[in-house]
Amino acid sequence: MLPGESARVRVAEIGRKGRFVRADLLEVLTASAHRVEPPCRFAGPGQCGGCDFQHVEVGEQRRLKAAVVAEQLRRLGGVDDLSGVWSGEVEALPDPVVAMPGLRWRTRVRFAVDAAGRAGLRRHRSHEVVPIDDCLIAHEGVDVVEVTGTSWPGVEEVSVQVDPASGDRDVTVGRGHGSEVLTMVAAGRSWQVSSGGFWQVHPDAADVLVEAVMSFAAPRDGERLVDLYAGVGVFSGVWGARCGGPVEVVEGDHRAAGDAFTNLADLSGVEVHSEAVEDFVASGAVSADVVVLDPPRVGAKQAVVDGVAAWGARAVVYVACDPAALARDVRYFAASGYRLTALRAFDLFPMTHHLECVALLEPVEVGGE
């Protein structure tokens, strides 16, 4: 449902101690002016659960996401006043197909396979597989029909990742890793990404996030960067090429750390640590002028935040895919003397409730009271 709507619903779940109620929509009685017909015929109650915002006009999707970011920062982060910190806008990325706003952007799709060997996508809040012959948010290079039109007996899932620049594809069967190594291009460099490794799924996401991170970090010649949850080393590579200072790269996934080692081999002063961020932070004192961290959806959590704050960096740039986790970590940083001073939000995942934020945290004596 959208704000201002009335509807008939069926309660599906009541949270512990009544903290939330989840319901299924039966009938819209009073519709919002922003409600639209979903472009995908597989979207909607009881169907594919991949896109929860297809019934919402694209611009309104971003406004709703902005409201969530503000509310989470206020309620969980203790940040009541965002004036001078954030414009309040969730910024749109270019549409890969101009005539299809909010669609055809997803370069990596994971298909579930049922007991009969039929590939499709999961039904909303279910493990049941919905057979499909297209996915409108999937990049055209994914070739949905090739996957769903093939029988996959004895397989649990099939993942497809495409490089939109070259058209190269990696198909991973089951929960293992495929054989392909893709070469992605972003920020003026080429990046090796091993099969099954992480790369942003929107074609423009890497470039947009690099620009935002570097704008907040404002690299200065010779400064030391510590890059946590570094993935294949994109932020480290751009930093090293721009200011030439020493870089500590920390990534817990051994495949991604191996890719980072390859991707950064041409840069001097770069050290790649293939270990969990929590272990690296707990191992002792680190000198850092700037810290960049891009944690998983659960956030960095307090132990990592406290350790990072103890390094005394002039700037901490935090990339977040979950506004609630970001807000909790912002509160932890505040308790350790760092204040949120700038924020940008990006609609990297149109037609869904997900988004990406980039936050700048600075020592209170720099950011002010």
CA distance 289 to 343: 20
CA distance 101 to 54: 11
The answer to whether residues 197 and 266 touch, using CB atoms and an 8 Å cutoff, is no
Instruction: Give the residue carrying structure tokens 């500590």.
Output: 248
**Pick from 178, 193, 196, 198: nearest CA to 259:** 193
CA distance 279 to 286: 13
Which residues does the annotation mark as catalytic?
A: 321
* Tokens at 138, concatenated: 């999937």
The answer to whether residues 31 and 5 touch, using CB atoms and an 8 Å cutoff, is yes
